Structure 1
Amino acid sequence: MERLDEIPGIGPIAAAVVVAEIGLDMTRFPTSGHLVSWARFATGVKESAGKKKGKASTGHGNRYLARILGEAAVGAARTNTFLGERYRRIAKRRGKKKALVAVGRSILIIIWHLLADPDARYHDLGPDFYDTRIAGDHKKRNHIRQLEALGYTVTLTPAA
C-alpha cells in the first residue's frame, strides 16, 4: 500500500480500498488489460453496419472501485504530473468526464504494474512527457503543414 500511495491522487485510504476490492494477487489478471476489463474501465464500442450503438459506456463494474478511481483521477488532475497533463490533454478534446475515466484507467494500469511486480516503483514521467516525446522534425513538419494550409509559403533557415 505504500507503493500505491506514491501515485498522484491515491492516498492511504484510497490505496486500502483498492487493495480491498482488487486484492494483492495479480496472477488472476495476466495483463493490465484484463484488470481494466474486469473493473469495467475499458470502453466498449458497439458498431454494426457502420452505425454506432449506445454511448460507448464502460458498463456496470465494481462501483466501489470506480468511485475511488474517479476520486483519485480528480486528485491527479489537479497536480503538475504526467497524469494531470493527461487529464488536461484529453479534457480539451473529449470533455471532462471522459478524461476522468481515461485517467482512472491509467491509474488502474499503474496499480496493476505495481502489484504484479514486487520490485516495481512508481516513477512519474513528468508533465512535459508528451512535448519531449514528439521529435523536433515531426513538430517542424506539422507546423509547416499548418501554415501552408492557411495559405503561406514557408522557407526555413537555421538560426545562428
Structure 2
Amino acid sequence: MLIVKGWVGWMAARTTPAVPDAEQVEESSPLLARVAAIDVAKDSGMVCTRLPHEDRAGRKVRKVWTVAARYGDVVALGDHLRSQGVERVVVESASDYWRIWFYLLEAAGLEVWLVNARDVKNVPDRPKTDKLDAVWLCKLNERGCYGRRSCRRRRCGICGG
C-alpha cells in the first residue's frame, strides 16, 4: 500500500514541538505548495490548509477549522482560499453534502477535485475524526495521490444527472 508507506514517511518527517503545526518537507517528492481539503458533513465542513511557512523555508503551516455549510460561509471560504493562493482543493464525496462545497468553490475560480471517501476510511491503525480526515486528505492532495474526478451535472453518474 503506497499510501500507508507515505503515511509512515510523514510520521518520520515530523519536526520538534518547538514549531507547532510545521513539518520539514521532503525535497525529493513533487508537492503542490498550497493546498486545501474539506471533510464534509451534513451542516459543516472541516477545512484544512497546508501553506508554506512565512519565515522558515521548506516548512509547512497547517490550519484546521470548521466552516458552516451555508452559502455565505462557503463563498467567504472560497475568497479566503483564493487570497491564500491555494492551488487545489479536494472535497470528500460524502452523500450529497459535497455539492455546495464543490460548486461554490469551483465558481470562485478554484481548482476543486472530488475524491472518494474510501480513501480516508481505508487506512489501518488510524483513528477516524473529522479533523484527522481533513488533515489526511490535505496531505494526500499535497503529494498528488489523487486522480481528478470532476463532476458535472449532465455528464456523469456521480451527480445523478
TM range (shorter): under 0.3
Q: What TM-score comes out, normalization by structure 2 length?
A: 0.24
More helix by share: 1
More strand by share: 2
User: Could you say which structure has the larger radius of gyration?
Assistant: 1
Q: What TM-score comes out, normalization by structure 1 length?
A: 0.24
